[in-house]
Amino acid sequence: MDTFSHIVIGLGLGALAQIDPAVSDNHALSQAIILGTVIGSNAPDFDYIYRFRGKGSYIRNHRGMSHSFPALPTWSIVVSGMIFLFFPGVNFHHLFLWTFLAVFAHVFLDLFNVHGTQILLPFSRKWISFDAIPLIDPYILLLHILGFSLFPLFHSGVTFLTIYLFLLIYLAIRSVSSVLTKRHLQYHFQNSVRIKLIPRLALFKWDIVIETNEDFLFGVYSEDRLSIEHTLSKKIDFPELVKNSINDPSVSNFLAGTHFAYPFVNVCKSGYFIYWKDIRFRTNKFFPCGAILFISSDFKTKKSYVGKIHSLKQYKKVLRNLKNTHTSF
């Protein structure tokens, strides 16, 4: 989920904490817990500091160890401990538990979107994703806004206990729908290697990626109907160049952050462009997330780019810069 959503959820959890008389009757503890839930609900994304080591480092590490099981108590202790320094008289036990709930909620909700997390680290590098909700879910935000608007009329703790019960039901409905949709598609595409669902804002509607041994099928699934919009062949030109491209740091970092990348090679007069595309994300036939490696025709020059490309104009600019050995990103 995005940062704004996590902040809103942190405030909601701070409101939920008021259901505990020990919190609602202690103004200082209540303030400390609200700080703890807001900061804690964003703490796993503090891995943003990897950006100081470069975009590639951030892509490799985001939603990794910071979103793992061992990180849950670690973040909670760090955040609640820092807050306790400013509120030394409050009950640390309560502060830690509500902060832990906020950290847990962050990682828990991130499991439901298309990215998922590496929550099993350090025991497994597998990405876990339930493909149930979009990255920015308007229904979750609307539930929280509704809860905040009811503060003048009802007890905030009781209000948000009700809100979160509805939220759990909502997540359950979308998750069951995702499972049933994938099973339905697997039944009709028995030759598929894997199927990926990308949730849309609308309920029960997904962008679909179906991978076979020969190609990728891209479409939209809604109301038990699948519309295939286009396909991409899995034929790889210049396989040796593609194989060697994995050793490039930018490409390696990009591939560490997704299991849904596929290479495409374009040839120009000055060399070769090896474009690793994240096939989960597309706008029509354009794939904005990827890593591009340029290799000069004499194989003496290599230059790479990793990140998101927002337009065709930016894409052309990236290609020009890659061919220009004096330009850096």
104-139 pLDDT per residue, tens:
999 999 999 999 999 999 999 999 999 999 999 999
Q: Does position 165 have pLDDT exceeding 60, yes or no?
A: yes
What amino acid occupies position 254?
F
What totals of helices (H) and strands (E) does the chain contain, helices first? 11, 8
Of the candidates 62, 83, 59, the residue with the CA atom closest to the CA atom of residue 71: 62
Confidence of residue 224 (pLDDT cuts 50, 70, 90): confident
- Least confident range from 27-41, 119-133, 312-326: namely 312-326
Of the candidates 129, 226, 228, the residue with the CA atom closest to the CA atom of residue 185: 226
Dist. CA 1–CA 110, nearest whole Å: 6
Query: Are the C-beta atoms of 232 and 218 separated by less than 8 Å?
Result: yes
Of the candidates 178, 168, 101, the residue with the CA atom closest to the CA atom of residue 139: 168
Question: Mean pLDDT throughout 253-266?
Answer: 92
